[in-house]
Structure 1
Amino acid sequence: MKQAILEKISKYNTIIIHRHVRPDPDALGSQLGLAAILKEAYQNKNIYTVGESEPSLLFLGEMDTITDEEYNGALVIVCDSANQERISDDRFRLGAELIKIDHHPNEEPYGDVVWVDVSASSTSEMIVELVEGSRELSLSKSSALLLYAGIVGDTGRFRYPNTKPETLRRTALLLEQDIEVNDFYAELYKRDLRMTRLEGYVLQHFEIHHGCVGVMKLRSDVLETFDVTSNESSQLVNTFSSVEGLMVWVFFVEEADRIRVRLRSRGPIINGIAQEHQGGGHTLASGATAYSWEETDEIISKLIKVCESE
């Protein structure tokens, strides 16, 4: 599959790279990192990255603005998006061929070429693996930093169980490019006054159910009070994760027409619950959508049951 992707890349003069909506470091790291690698290897090709911006991650890079005409005869690559519904910028369908590169469960195998590796820590790690298998592609300081950001983001700074020996070996290849790790962490964990105050609110108001499920309900009026967006609030999902006894925790964030659900776990499998509520993801880190506060209570009940069954 990797060889098929490399052959497609060498064939096309225009390559447009997408990723999922509301991007996290892995989505942006894999997208922008792959773009940087291709630009360095093929200076005569047109390489673009598209999608909405995420203000808190602008230090990683910005998106390109392109017309629909650019998709004519183009190769489209989608990084880190398990299903088509979550792909940012629905023009991904306009290209000549479509490649999917992802590490989430392959519940929707869209595209002409599909490379999914659920054993990989992140899509960014898969991009490093792609470079390893190529004679044309290589890492640079700029691309390595982007891929490092993605791996760090999806492994929780190498603390999550998805950090395998191969993950650390490939990370070492990135560090060999002399990237500025301290500057990266300073940007990644930088918090302004709004976020710091909201973090204090979360610590004061989260609840623990049955001694094992941590719950935070962020209603829209609270977000307005602290002038924080729903996307920005994702930075706080692990704020109380170290509380003794917690097995799983969940953030419910109210938006205009739905309630965003962010699920995390220390062991119990939670992506099945996410799938039951318009979502999915990894076994220990998933997302879903609820459409009423009553539905959020159902999710809490399911989380309690999955913890009690452990």
Structure 2
Amino acid sequence: MKHEILETIKKFDTVIIHRHVRPDPDAYGSQLGLAEIIRASFSDKNVYSVGEEEPSLAFLGNLDTISDDIYQGALVIVCDTANTERIDDARYSTGAKLIKIDHHPNDDAYGDLFWVDRSASSCSEMITSFYETFRDELVMNETAAMLLYGGIVGDTGRFLYPSTTDETLRLAAKLVEFPFDRPALFQKLYEQPLETLHLSGYIFENLIVEPNGAATIYISKETLEKFHCTPKQASNLVSSFENAKGLKAWIMFVEEENEIRARLRSKGPVINELAKEYRGGGHPLASGATVYSNQEVQEMREKLMQLCDTYQKGL
């Protein structure tokens, strides 16, 4: 499949790269990293990266604003996005050919070509592997290496998550051969405004871990306003309390304008099936969903309790 993808890229003069809404470092890293590799390798191609910009990740690079007509006859590649509902910019389907590159469960096998590797820690790891496979034909530069390394770091929790494999570390080691400023990258990835730190204090005070290891926290719009935080800033705190003793799985509910975002994390119980029940999905231990009522919030809480009960009993 990697060979087919490379040969397809070679055939098109215009390549447009998408990723998912509410981007994280891996979405930015894989999208912009692949774009940088294609530009460096094929100087005659027009390469664009599109989607709504995330201010907290703007240091990684800028996105392009393009007109609809550029999609005519173009190759479209979507990175790090499991299903079509989460693709940022609906024009992804208007190109001449569509490729999906992703590391989530392939529940929505969209695209004319799709390369899905659930064993990869991140889509950025996959793009790094893609480059290494064809390193005689492709060019990696310092910018691409920085972007892909940042994506891997983000999706592995600084190499702490179980998704980190020997292959992850091997490919990351190849990227750090390029002289980008790793300390500066880490600082920008993880620095937080004081408002967010104050909100994290509220979360620590109000989080209750049940005897079976389940926990939930609800961040209302009023709470966001009190701490002068955005829903995105609140959601970024979902792993801030993962070291709490006895914690097995948890959901952070963040109230937005017309919906409630549910961020699910786990140290053992598989939670992505629960996320799928509520218009979401993701990895077995890290997923997201969307709910629209207090009733659905309560339902998710009860189902999380059941998951942790079953896990605790070893069933």
> Which TM-score band (shorter chain)?
over 0.9
Residues 169-208 of structure 1 aligned to structure 2 (within 5 Å): 169-208=170-209
- Read off the aligned partner of 1:128 and give its amino acid letter: T
Alignment check: 8 A CA contact 2:212 2:309 kept: no
Q: Is contact 1:18–1:50 with CA below 8 Å preserved after alignment? A: yes
Aligned pairs (5 A) from 1:20-169: 20-134=20-134, 135-169=136-170
CA distance in 2, matches of 1:214, 1:182: 33
1:32, distance to aligned residue in structure 2 (A): 0.4
SS in 2 for 1:98: strand
Amino acid at match of 1:95: G
> Residues 252 and 260 of structure 1 are in contact (CA less than 8 Å); yes or no, is this contact kept in structure 2?
yes
Q: Distance in 2 between matches of 1:212 and 1:296?
A: 18
Indicate if the aligned counterparts of 2:19 and 2:31 stay in contact, CA closer than 8 A: yes
Q: Secondary structure at the match of 1:236?
A: coil
Q: Classify the secondary structure of the residue corresponding to 2:158.
A: coil
Maintained 8 Å contact 1:140/1:177: yes
- Partner amino acid for 1:293? N
Cα shift at 1:211: 4.6
Match of 1:13 in 2: 13
Compute the TM-score of the two structures, normalised by the length of structure 1: 0.98
Deviates more, 1:295-304 or 1:51-60: 295-304
Deviations 1:109-136 (A, max 9, x none): 0000010011110000000111112132
Alignment partner of 1:214: what SS? strand
RMSD: 1.0
Alignment of 1:279-294 (within 5 A): 279-294=280-295
Separation of aligned partners in 2, 1:300 and 1:241: 18
Q: Which residue of structure 1 lines up, in the alignment, with residue 304 of structure 2?
A: 303
Shift of 1:227: 2.1
Q: Which runs of 5+ in 2 are unaligned?
A: none
Q: CA deviation at 1:209?
A: 2.7
Flag structure 1 segments of 5+ consecutive residues without an equivalent: none
Counterparts of 2:162 and 2:187 in 1: how far apart (Å)? 24
Aligned-partner residue type, residue 174 of structure 1: L
> Once the two structures are superposed, what CA deviation does each residue of 1:50-90 show, in whole Å capped at 9, x if it has no partner?
00011111111111011001111100000000011100000
**1:257 CA drift (Å):** 1.6
User: Secondary structure of the residue that 2:216 maps to in structure 1?
Assistant: strand
Q: For residues 218 and 62 of structure 1, what CA distance do their matches in structure 2 show?
A: 30
The code of the aligned residue for 2:281 comes to: G
The 8 Å contact of residues 212 and 305 in structure 2, kept in 1 or not, is answered as: no
What is the one-letter code of the residue matched to 2:56?
Answer: S
Kept in 2: contact 1:71–1:94 (CA 8 A): yes
How far the C-alpha of 1:214 sits from its partner, in A, is: 2.0
SS at match of 2:297: helix
Q: Report the secondary structure of 2:236's partner residue.
A: helix
Q: CA deviation at 1:208?
A: 2.0
Partner of 1:253: 254
Separation in structure 1 between the aligned mates of residue 225 and residue 94 of structure 2, nearest angstrom: 38
Corresponding letter in the other structure for 1:6: L
Tell me, yes or no, if the aligned pair for 1:139 and 1:174 is still in contact at 8 Å: no
Contact 1:209 1:215 in 2 (8 A): no
Instruction: State the one-letter code of the partner of 2:123.
Output: T
Cα distance in 2 for residues equivalent to 1:241 and 1:283: 16
Which residue identity is paired with 1:19? R
Contact 1:208/1:214, CA 8 A, preserved across alignment: yes
Percent identity reads 52
List per-residue Cα deviations over 1:171-221 (Å, max 9, x = no partner).
011011122110001111111121121111111122223351121100011
In the alignment, is the contact (CA less than 8 A) between 1:210 and 1:304 conserved in 2? no
Structure 1 residues 209 and 290 mapped into 2: Cα distance closer, same or farther (>3 Å)?
Answer: farther
TM-score relative to the length of structure 2: 0.96
Letter in 2 for 1:41: S
CA distance in 2, matches of 1:179, 1:307: 42
Supply the distance in 1 between the matched residues of 2:230 and 2:110 (Cα, whole angstroms). 31
Structure 2 distance, partners of 1:295, 1:306, is 16
User: Hey, which bits of structure 1, 4+ residues long, moved more than 4 A?
Assistant: none
Matched positions, count: 310
